[in-house]
Structure 1
Amino acid sequence: MPAPPKDYWPYSGLSGPGRKPGRDGASGGWVSGLPNVRYKGPGKPPYPLAPWNDSDGAAAVKAGLLPPIRPLHDVHIRDTIVCLGGDGHYYMTGSTGDNIWAVNDGVELWRSKDLENWDYLGLVWSIERDGGWERNWRMRKGVPFRALWAPEIHFIRGNYFIVHSMSRAGLAILRSTTGRAEGPYVHAFSPDRHLRKGIDATLFEDEDGSVWFTYGSADEIVRLKDDLSGYAGDWQPMTARDGEWDLDPRHHRKECADKGYRHLGYEGPTLFKRNGIYYLGVVDRYDDRYSFAMWMSDKVTGPWHSRHEGPPCCGGGNFLRDKKGDWWVTFFGNDEASPWREKPGLVRIDFAPDGRVVVARDQPFAKVTA
């Protein structure tokens, strides 16, 4: 459809630099939505607001399921992704802008040496400046809509790659042309059309150097060519091992009843490997907490087993190992059991004797700064 008038939406398509969090940053935040955004924090945004109500009720913290963490940075980000780059810096991105249910500008990026202090690198990939098929507008709930969702940055084979999802349009893989995280970026392949319909694309590099691509509910996966210039083979289905489906309705989104609860999850997949075990996280609802349903396997393609809830409320991001060897899961707050909403955070994780993902005892970010 044609682009709407320039002032159609009152929302900025950028989240901007943000600020170091203080005591007022350990709650509140944003809740994106149509027709209005909810907001709790300093100042008043220049757009209509819906009532905040109990959006940051923190029931998961009060119940002892989630540590009383504080944000990494006080900035509006959904689907937080943190990647350790080849230069020793951490890079952070995610869904940004005032309201991703309406419009945003592309991929914003932040950089840190220590996970505590973040520098803003700006808009490293712009829909309007750098996009092709991504520039098209569509309709959502009767209104014009163009938004990039859940971008992820990955450092693979000495270069940086970004996967993104244009909601209602499809998926793409971008490649840095300079070997730097700030780009500029071009399409790694298929610049003229999407790679797949869907949302929430992710990449995974295995220990043998193979690179894999999945998305959405992780129902299928494909290996990429060694230079990431295309598919190395056909898409392969992914499923659970016989007898391993979790049929408890409390561990699923209500709509999953249509599948008899026989599914890996419904969105936001992520993959990592530890001690020879592959881990697949796919978002589901555990008593309405937005958490990863975690699966384990001895193969990247499955079949998968041992479904369990990852750290509560920590869905929709990624797992990473830091420079010291500690493991983390990202957080952004997508349910009312969370202590804040749509701001980036980290929860340190550990592993039970049977390999299941658990919340670690030591939580460096479980304190409020002055």
Structure 2
Amino acid sequence: MTKGFELSRRAVVAGSLALLGTRPSLGLAAEPLKRTPFPVEDDNGRPIAPPPPGYYDVATRSGPGLPVTPETERGGWVTSEAAVDRKGVRFKGPGAPPKNALPWNDSDSGRVVTQGLIPPVKPLIHVHLRDTIVCLGGDGFYYMTGSTGDDIWKANDGVELWRSADLEQWDYLGLVWSIEKDGGWEKQWTVRKGDYFRAIWAPEIHYINGNYYICHSISRSGIAILRSTSGKATGPYVHAFSPDKPLRNGIDATLFGDDDGAVYLTYGGAFEMVRLKPDLSGYDGEWTPITLETPDPDPLHHNKKCVHRGFKDIGFEGATMFKHDGKYYLGAVDRFHPNRYSFALATSDTPFGPYRDRYESVPCGGGGNIFKDKEGRWWCTIFGNDDEAPFREKPGIVPARMDEKGHLVPDFTPRT
């Protein structure tokens, strides 16, 4: 037995214990759902005092997870923002359901696979993880993070991290940045949709110019960039700059390091972008609006927010950016008929655009990132944010390739 396998086995055993009895969110459904303490219309992110002790009965970390078996390759979690008295989490998998469990229905239909839009795909591990990000580090390991905890519409602890040598066996590295211990402006509790709120959304880990950085967001508050002080993916992490206030009011921050050492920051639906200093210690320019030169006017390819803005956006959230063959690829999530949560990608000759040739990339592969492995093969992360997906709110990767048009599309060629 190899050392790496033994570490993974221990992580799985620990995850099994966590998921099968020690996480408060997976207790028996005995208590009624709580009503929000504020009017649900109170949704402007105003600062408030922390909630009383024991207010939340959901787990604020996801933990190691369980191995993928026939029982865990489907199902998962669907975190709901339904009406006040129906807030909860749909759950399908081993262990007791959350206290606030909602009916599963057909949440993991897998139609994106059965209709031949992507090849069959299973989660990497059975763990509650939204907005999956995978990064190849400078040490040859892959690192994975994302939105964690049982209910990101309420609260979580910060940024959790996993590591793999081969994209198959994953070791849990724990909480590498804590809101309470390491945060600055992030420590402030706010009101979101009538409830107490403090949760890190869509953290991303990046290896840029010889160091590791994590960007993150808090809904209704803004975005930030963290820098490793050790040169290691595990940190410790401090704010790269601006510890006392958000860099921008938005969500889904992402970073891109260019071949010449330049670094770019965008967020949300990639509506604007700014160049950063090579060590990410501050801005190296002004925020610049991003233009989509060739809008796609088909309403079936857009969320209603984009329709109302005249189809001028690449997408509405979940920005991502990478480079291939001298071209810049800028992406954002949109809704493609009937309800696929996918990256729309567009290309440009320069980082700031204008961008053109917008298209749906890997179906259901939105809200994470696109990366190359050690062999130079493309992958698109997937976490299952719609009922077309084969599993829900768990980390997965879909093999991808560049076609003759320079479009990133699913790769149906078997990989070994």
User: Which is helix-richer, 1 or 2?
Assistant: 2
SS in 1 for 2:71: helix
The answer on 1:265 being equivalent to 2:315 is yes
The equivalent position to 1:181 in structure 2, one of 216, 222, 233, is 233
Q: Which amino acid aligns with 1:4?
A: P
Contact (CA 8 Å) 1:25, 1:70: kept in 2 or not? no
How far does residue 167 in structure 1 lie from its aligned partner after superposition?
1.3
* CA–CA separation in structure 1 for the residues paired with 2:345 and 2:225: 25
Question: 1:308 corresponds to which residue?
Answer: 359
TM-score by length of 2: 0.86
Contact (CA 8 Å) 2:118, 2:412: kept in 1 or not? no
How far does residue 364 in structure 1 lie from its aligned partner after superposition?
4.4
* CA–CA separation in structure 2 for the residues paired with 1:202 and 1:257: 24
The equivalent position to 2:392 in structure 1, one of 341, 353, 357, is 341
The answer on 1:106 being equivalent to 2:158 is yes
Q: Which amino acid aligns with 2:126?
A: D
Within a 5 Å distance, the mapping from 1:220-231 to structure 2 comes to 220-231=272-283
1:80-100 deviation per Cα after TM superposition (whole angstroms, max 9, x unaligned): 000000100000000000010
Question: 1:160 corresponds to which residue?
Answer: 212
Q: CA RMSD in A?
A: 1.1
The equivalent position to 2:336 in structure 1, one of 275, 283, 286, is 286
1:60-102 deviation per Cα after TM superposition (whole angstroms, max 9, x unaligned): 1111112220111111100000000010000000000001011
Residues 319 and 216 of structure 1: CA distance in aligned 2, closer, same or farther (over 3 Å): same
The equivalent position to 1:51 in structure 2, one of 103, 109, 116, is 103
Which stretches of structure 1, 4 residues or more, deviate above 3 A after TM superposition? Answer: none
Within a 5 Å distance, the mapping from 1:1-370 to structure 2 comes to 1-34=48-81, 35-241=87-293, 244-287=294-337, 288-364=339-415
Q: Which amino acid aligns with 1:154?
A: H
Stretches of structure 1 lacking an aligned partner (at least 5 in a row): 366-370
Number of positions where the alignment pairs a residue of Structure 1 with one of Structure 2: 363
Contact (CA 8 Å) 1:291, 1:312: kept in 2 or not? yes
SS in 1 for 2:314: coil
How far does residue 8 in structure 1 lie from its aligned partner after superposition?
1.2
TM-score by length of 1: 0.96
For CA contacts below 8 A with separation 6 or more, give which structure has more relative contact order.
1
SS in 2 for 1:24: coil
How far does residue 284 in structure 1 lie from its aligned partner after superposition?
0.3
Q: Which amino acid aligns with 1:173?
A: I
1:31-65 deviation per Cα after TM superposition (whole angstroms, max 9, x unaligned): 11241011000011442201111110111111111
Larger Rg: 2
Q: Which amino acid aligns with 2:100?
A: P
Stretches of structure 2 lacking an aligned partner (at least 5 in a row): 1-47, 82-86
Question: 2:32 corresponds to which residue?
Answer: none
